[in-house]
Chain A
Amino acid sequence: MRVVQPQPSYEELHRGQAARIRRLCRLLLVDPDEAEEVAQDVFVKLFRARQGGAPAAWDRWVTRVAVNACRDRRRSRWWRWWGRGWRALDEEDLAAAGQTPEEAVVALEERRRIWTAFRKLPRRQREVFLLRHVEGWSTAEVAETLGVAEGSAKRHLFRAVRQLRRELGGEP
């Protein structure tokens, strides 16, 4: 006899996915406001989808929607760039507890290099690396979510890793 799992409420889904989706949007888009807007759009879609039906796996569904939403936003944002001015962000560049000032400077420099290298990657490589290593999905799940063959996802992943390591001064 098949046991029917109760559907999670929207609040539960939001609570479980919000931080992850915000981070994902932030990684795929440069602007924090833009990332927040897209994340809100994703939550609206999640709310509607929750009323309409039940995907097999909500986290995969939400991730796919977020990746597509970020892609759409990147395509249409060239004109938004001019409308937004410089402003300082809220991110903390403060040293972590227990770090000496020298260690903090080195750590900050490394963060900058990694972020710069990551943002230089082509869109697909960025998406694959993000889902595989930041989200911790399997290559097969990444391929399915992005709608590409698993071999293609592995190729993108290899290129992303190689490029990132090259930018960081590692191998090769």
Chain B
Amino acid sequence: MTDATIACLSERMLLALAEGDGDREAQAHLRGCVLCAGRFRRLSGDIARIARVLREPPPRPLSHRAPRWLPAVAAVATAAALLGTLLLPRYGAPPAAGGRPATDPLPAEVLARGEAEPVALRRADNDLLAAALEEPFPCEWSEGGCDDDTDPAFGGE
């Protein structure tokens, strides 16, 4: 049965009543209201239960601390990251001007298997190109073309 003169009690008021405070009106409501009486019992029970548990030693998993190796691992990881940051630009930088990119010679067994043919062809192409560049200007590109009969080689004067 609920006392019609007062609305149901707030949790704060219930706690005040549990602490021995609270006005006469609230106490009267608590005596008359089944709902608030139940809430009050649950509140008191919860507090007693919590206090009882806290008087006992804490359960084990709550007491775990950080592993001893954690700081060492953190320090090593930080050092590795720092080292990586410092060294990465050196290896990733382009070769200096005039320098040639470093290449490793092919192993002998690869050459023996003939797998080095594309490389050899490429080298040959490079040689041909270099030789062509050392030659005089090609006649096809000259003004008179290759039909210049003034050339003594074709009987010119």
Contacts and interface: CB of A to CB of B under 8 A. Distances in A.
A161 B11 CA distance: 10
Contacts of A111: 53, 56, 58-59
Contact of A170 (B19, B42, B54, B61): B42
Given A82-B71, A134-B54, A164-B50, A89 B60 contact: yes
A120 to B, nearest CB: 11
A85 interface: yes
A110 B67 contact: no
Given A86-B68, A130-B54, A157 B61 contact: no
A111 B68 CA distance: 27
Interface in A79-128: 81-82, 84-89, 91-93, 108, 110-112, 114-116, 118-119
Interface residues of B, number: 31
Contacts of B59: 91, 93, 108, 111-112, 115
B46 A170 contact: yes
A89 B11 contact: no
A110 B54 contact: no
A115 B65 contact: no
Given A114-B54, A161-B15, A119 B47 contact: no
Interface of B: 11-12, 15-16, 19, 21, 39, 42-43, 46-47, 49-51, 53-68, 71
Closest 4 CB pairs of A and B: A85-B68, A91-B57, A133-B51, A114-B53
